[in-house]
Amino acid sequence: MIRITKHPFLIPSVVAILLIGFPWEVLGQSKKKTIPHYSVPVNNVLHVRLNRELNSETAHIGDSFTATTVDPVYSKNGLLLIPQASTVKGQVTNVQRAQKNGKPASLDVVFTGVTLPNGYHRAINGSLTDLESSTGKSDNEGQVTGHKTSHRKAKFIGGGAAGGAVIGAIAGGGKGLAIGAGVGALTGAVTGRLKKGHEVKVKSGTEFGVILNRTVSFPAYKPS
């Protein structure tokens, strides 16, 4: 019969050996370094360019489309957050075809995300806005901020040059409020009621604004 003798120094020695061999560097690696984020405030307007045509004759609710940022976005202390050539994702939420009484077609859209050139993606809550009428002020870093009461219900409306589109909003009483270029063409189509209204044709390359409905944060941009 083998007899095991308890030694007072045996257990501490085993523990010491285990501690020496433990890969402590793994614990250090498991502590992720916190990356600071910087806010892009509510009402900030992203200047974007449409990547492919939107057409009320072929568009459907739920269709996705993209636009590319024209101007970079910086933090208050001058750090680049959203560079040029970032991709803004949009979605069609409503389609109204042109009618025979002269009423033009319209497209409602929302904007749901931004993907930077390095692949970093961030969800956003954005609305369509006209660049000229929505720009309330710009700060020292060139940030464009829209008025708090900017046209949150703006939409693409058939009309404008060569029957393209304008950016407008439906005001109280069912009246059409045109924003930006093409006001005359839209007004004529609505009030004339002599023929079928224009379909929406937002050509590829058209520039417009995306106004943020909520503040969103990004880390300082680093190329991949």
Question: Does residue 132 belong to any structural domain of this protein?
Answer: yes
Q: If you average pLDDT over each of 33-42, 110-119, 126-135, which comes out highest? A: 110-119
**Which range among 119-128, 158-167, 185-194 shows the weakest confidence by mean pLDDT?**
185-194
Question: Average model confidence (pLDDT) for the chain?
Answer: 78
Residue 12: C-alpha distances to residues 9, 17, 22 (Å): 6, 9, 15
Q: Where residue 53 falls among pLDDT bands split at 50, 70, 90?
A: very high
Does residue 55 lie in a domain region?
A: yes
Domain range for 70 is: 36-217
In a domain, 126, yes or no: yes
Task: Give a yes or no: residue 1 inside a domain.
Answer: no
Amino acid at 12: P
The 10s digit of each residue's pLDDT in 205-214 is 999 999 999 9
Whether 74 shows a pLDDT value over 60: the answer reads yes
The one-letter amino acid at 63:
D
- Among 88-102, 136-150, 188-202, the range with the most confident prediction by mean pLDDT is 88-102
Residue 24 belongs to some domain of the structure? no
CATH number at residue 145: 2.40.128.260
Residue 90 inside a domain? The answer is: yes
pTM for the structure as a whole: 0.72
Neighbours of 219 (CB within 10 A): 15
Residue 152 has pLDDT above 70, yes or no: no
